[in-house]
Amino acid sequence: MAAQLLEIKNLVTAFHTSEGRVPAVDGVSLSIKRGRTLGLVGESGCGKSVTAMSILRLVSSPGRIESGSITFTTESESIDLVTAAEKQLRKVRGGCIGMIFQEPMTSLNPVFTVGDQIAEVVQLHQKVSRAEARSRALEMLHLVRVADPEQRLDAYPHQLSGGMRQRVMIAIALACEPDLIIADEPTTALDVTIQAQILELLEDLRSRLGTATLLITHDLGVVAETCDDVAVMNAGRIVEQAPAVELFSHPLHPYTKGLLQARPNVDTRDRSPLATIPGMVPAPQDFPSGCRFHPRCSYVREPRCDAEPPTLREVSSGHFVRCHFAEEIDS
Amino acid sequence: MSQEPMKVTAEINATNPSRGFWSDAWRRYRRRPIGMLALGFVLFLTIVALFAPAIAGTKPVICSYKGKIYFPCLGYFNRSWESPIFTKDKFRGTYPKNLKQKDPESWAVWPLVFQDPYRRVRENEWPGRRENPSRDKGYPNRLNLFGTDQYGVDIFAKMVHGTTIALLVGFVSMGLAGSIGVIVGALGGYFGGWVDMITSRLTEIVMCVPTLVLILALIAVVEKPTIWKTMAIIGATGWTGIARLTRAEFLRLRQTEFVMAARATGAGSLRIMFRHILPNALAPVLVPITFGIASAILVEGSLSFLGFGPPPPTASWGSVLNSARSNLQLWWLVVFPGTGIFFTVLAYNLVGEGLQEATDPRLREAKK
């Protein structure tokens, strides 16, 4: 069995708008091992969601995957999702890769009961009768710990709370026992107590079912709690990638350092204002030359940062960083 | 972290037994008395249409003849449903006398009103009853509730049997128009791009052609204008509004998250279009279909009035109006079918309006 479940290489996804080509994802490489959780972190607009959409080829016009490969390895075969036929892709979607969206309020079809929606996925991917699909739906509702599942099976989405709907979304994503779950900010729209419950549920299901997870978030606390590996994205590129423990104890890229410093401190005696990263997120059509982070970087050194785009290099085992001066900054 | 299942009871909100979109809409619809009245009228018409041969006719609803049971009245719906034995035994369409003569043992249950929509009832056809009056003598009377036309054919019977035609025209032609409109609109709205380009232009072209003129032209080309061909033509020209509305709904809905979510679960385009999007688009599309039924009935009426309707043996309200065209002094030929068409069209429009108010979320909010 191949160790890498999903391997993204040099993915470029661009939007062709009237203002020209906008590369939202520009040369991203990622890999997820079977049963592991990869956190993809970054600020709004850095290309996290587009990366996720690209994996299932859900990016709709005017967006297009321009180059790169996404190799998905199942037990029997490996498929390049970028070039796969639509029919093959449909089998992968929902069947081998489940997806959880950010907005549980609008991600469920308002005119069908939640039971029908879970059963539909099962029927799409497995040759089962309606009754079997329905009992599978009930089983899934049990699994995601929806209270009173027999009754909820016939409820419409508007009758459920946000947390419940997100549980239903998780049930849909997991219904066909996929190898990989892509969770695109699954807790952003929920309030904090429900967030914790959902994350705990995801983590529990992961350890029980052995499903690999790609968790997209901008919440570093979530990452620290749930992820094995972390990739930090900035301006359409991965700037740092490392095992979670390593990254939090030993961040190398100035952007990652900035992110970590920008977290609020629980220490009540500390009255200093919250650290921020100066500047704005650059729009993809006018990314700066050289290192894309250099205008906002506190360690910037002209002229190299301005002129030469840094490459993603391995500074220690399993720790990749995209910065010319990572070692110097570190010491 | 995989300890015992955590408690999620905090999230439970007490929900009523599930109530879907349509039962909710029905609850709201029921609040409008005028809408309910109109719906009642439409239901009444449907019942009249279904039981027309039992309400007015000259053929028994059910009869026993030579030891067997027959339903000769079904011959009004379709000639071949009337048992051939009556043709063989030379009944010539008159049952009361023939039944008794040829089989004294026979019995029959007759329609409520012994009148025929297609021919004049003769002297003594029904024991002791005189012949239907004709020409300008056919005032409404006890035997001919709505009077008779210039040939002595009973108008009430014609009206009752014409109900079937009026409803069929509405449902068949709008069923056709609805199917074409929804498919064309769905394709254009969902796929966009050049598909949308083609379907939109097609819709606009069909919309530009004056419907009545196109229908007349097509009827001129079609060899035998039966009622079914008229319906097909009305349907084939009346789908443009529905197509535009469906397209707009699809354009809106294909951007929604649940459609994206459906794609992420591996649903194909057709499935997304017709299972995920269409049910959400149905309410706004149903409203013009209801109005369309009303206008189809009107179009059929005007076609028949102009003499381009179904050929004479078919009883339709419009053809009664047509016979009044040359006999304006026979006011009952105008008043009864005219009133019938008026109230039917009104009822459908009211049903459509009620449906709109019951399903449109904006109107719904305003009412609260």
For the residues of B9-49, what is the DSSP string, one character each? GGG----PSP--HHHHHHHHHTT-HHHHHHHHHHHHHHHHH
Q: Which residues 278-297 of A are in CB contact (within 8 Å) with B?
A: none
Chain B neighbours among A 221-240 (CB < 8 Å)?
A: none
**pLDDT given for residue B200 in this prediction:** 93
Alpha-helical segments (H) within chain A: 48-55, 86-92, 114-125, 130-143, 149-152, 162-174, 192-209, 220-226, 244-249, 254-261, 304-307, 326-330
Q: How many residues does chain B have?
A: 368
Question: What are the chain B neighbours of A228 within 8 Å (beta carbons)?
Answer: none
Q: Is the pLDDT of residue B65 over 80?
A: no
Q: Under DSSP, is residue A142 helix (H, G, I), strand (E, B) or coil? A: helix
In chain A, the residue whose alpha carbon lies closest to the alpha carbon of B18 is A155
Q: What is the pLDDT of residues B297-335, one digit of tens each?
A: 888 888 888 777 777 667 788 888 887 777 777 788 888
- CA separation for the pair B121, B95 (Å, rounded): 12
Residue of B nearest to A155 (CA): B18
Put simply, the answer to whether B279 touches A112 (Cβ < 8 Å) is: yes
Considering the domain architecture, whether residues B188 and B262 belong to the same structural domain is answered as yes
Q: Would you say residue B14 lies in a domain? A: no
For residue A3, what pLDDT is reported? 67
- Let me know if residue B150 belongs to a domain: no
Residue B7 pLDDT class (50, 70, 90 cuts) = very low
d(CA A146, CA A114): 11
B268 contacts chain A (CB < 8 A) = yes
Of residues A38 and A313, which shows the higher confidence score? A38
Q: Give the model confidence (pLDDT) of B104-132 as tens digits.
A: 777 777 778 777 777 777 777 777 677 77
CA B107 to chain A, closest CA, distance in angstroms equals 52
> What are the pLDDT digits (tens) for B29-60?
888 888 889 899 989 989 988 888 888 877 87
Write down the ipTM of this complex: 0.82
Shared domain check, B254 and B176: yes
Per-residue pLDDT of A242-285, as tens digits, reads 888 888 888 888 888 888 877 776 766 767 777 778 777 777 77
Residues B78 and B204 grouped into a single domain: no
B361 part of contact set with chain A, CB < 8 Å? no
Q: Which of A101, A108, A148 sits opposite B12 (nearest CB)?
A: A148
- Please report the pLDDT score of residue A217 as a whole number: 86
Give DSSP secondary structure letters for B290-325: HHHHHHHHHHHHHHHHHT-SS-TTS--HHHHHHHHH
How sure is the predictor about B368, in pLDDT bands with cuts at 50, 70 and 90? Answer: very low
Are B213 and B79 in a shared domain? Answer: no
Say whether residue A57 is in contact with chain B using an 8 A CB cutoff.
Answer: no
Contact indicator for A241, A229 with CB cutoff of 8 Å: yes
Query: Under an 8 A CB cutoff, do B18 and A113 touch?
Result: yes
In a domain, B75, yes or no: yes
Q: What are the structural domains of chain A? A: 4-227 (3.40.50.300), 237-263+274-330 (no CATH)
Written as one string, the DSSP assignment of B243-308 is HHHHHHHHHHHTTSHHHHHHHHTT--HHHIIIIIIHHHHHHHHHHHHHHHHHHHHHHHHHHHHHT-
Give yes or no for a contact between A293 and A312, defined as CB atoms under 8 angstroms apart.
no
Q: Are residues B257 and B116 in the same domain?
A: no
CA dist B227 and A53 (Å) reads: 53
Domain residues for the domain of B231 are 155-367
Say yes or no: B322 and B226 in one domain. Answer: yes
What pLDDT score does B4 carry?
47
CB contact under 8 A, A147 and B12: yes
Please indicate whether, in this complex, the C-beta atoms of A145 and B267 are within 8 angstroms of each other: no
B279 CB near a chain A CB, below 8 Å?
yes
- Interface test with chain B among A50, A106, A109, by most B beta carbons within 10 Å: A109
In this prediction, residue B180 carries a pLDDT of 93
For residue B94, what are its two tokens? Answer: 């008159």
Residue of B196 and A35 predicted with greater confidence: B196
Q: How confident is the model at residue B170 (pLDDT cuts 50, 70, 90)?
A: confident
What value does the mean pLDDT take over residues A77-98?
84
Is the pLDDT at B201 greater than 90? The verdict is: yes
What's the average model confidence in pLDDT over A108-129? 87
Average pLDDT over residues A29-41: 87
Instruction: Compare all CA atoms of chain B with the CA of A142 and give the residue at the minimum distance.
Output: B5
CB contact under 8 A, A109 and B258: yes
Among the residues of A37-176, which ranges form H helices?
A: 48-55, 86-92, 114-125, 130-143, 149-152, 162-174
**A180-218: per-residue pLDDT in tens?**
889 888 887 778 888 888 888 888 888 888 888 898 988
Of the three residues B69, B99, B132, the one that is the final residue of a domain is B132
Q: Looking at the predicted structure, is the pLDDT value of residue A81 above 80?
A: yes
Q: Do residues B94 and B222 share a domain?
A: no
Rounded (10°) angle between helices B278-306 and B155-191: 140
d(CA A187, CA A194): 8
Identity of the residue in A92, A106, A155 whose CB atom sits nearest the CB atom of B257 = A106
The CA distance from A176 to A124, in Å, is 9
Structure tokens at B108: 């029959």
Q: Which residue of A has its CA nearest to B268?
A: A90
CA dihedral A214, A219, A224, A230 (to 10 degrees): 40
Which residues of chain B have a CB within 8 Å of the CB of A107?
Answer: 257-258, 260-261
pLDDT tier for residue B243 given thresholds of 50, 70 and 90: very high
CB–CB contact A111 B266 (8 Å): no
Query: B178 and B216 share a domain?
Result: yes
- Reference B286, options B360, B187, B205, B364; nearest CA is B360
Q: Do A200 and B21 touch (CB under 8 A)?
A: no
Q: What's the pTM value of the predicted model, to 2 decimals?
A: 0.77
Same domain, residue pair B171 and B62: no
How far away is chain B from the Cα of A239, in angstroms, using its nearest Cα? 28
Q: Are residues B165 and B262 in the same domain?
A: yes
Q: Indicate yes or no: CB of B20 within 8 angstroms of CB of A156.
A: yes
Of A248, A281, A250, nearest to A39 (Cα)? Answer: A248
CB pairs under 8 A between A and B: 110
Co-location of B203 and B83 in the same domain: no
Judge whether B326 is closer than 8 Å to chain A, CB to CB: no
Neighbours of B9 (CB within 10 A): 8
For residue B271, list chain A residues with Cβ-Cβ distance below 8 A: 124
Answer yes or no: do B115 and B241 share one domain: no
A311 Cβ under 8 Å from any chain B Cβ = no
Supply the pLDDT for residue A331.
65
H or E element that contains B159: helix B155-191
Q: Spell out the SS3 assignment of A32-74.
A: EECCCEEEEECCCCCCHHHHHHHHCCCCCCCEEEEEEEEEEEC
**How confident is the model over B178-200, as a mean pLDDT?**
91
* Preceding amide of B313 cis, omega within 30: no
* Cβ-Cβ contacts under 8 Å, B275 against chain A: 120
End-to-end CA distance of chain B: 48
Share of chain A above pLDDT 90, in %: 0
| pLDDT tens figures, B22-34 | 777 788 888 888 8
Q: How would you classify the pairing of strands A63-73 and A78-80? A: antiparallel
Q: Is residue B12 part of a domain?
A: no
> Domain tally for chain B?
2
CATH number reported for the structural domain that contains residue B208 in this entry? 1.10.3720.10
Please tell me the distance from the alpha carbon of residue A81 to that of residue A78, in angstroms, as a whole number: 9
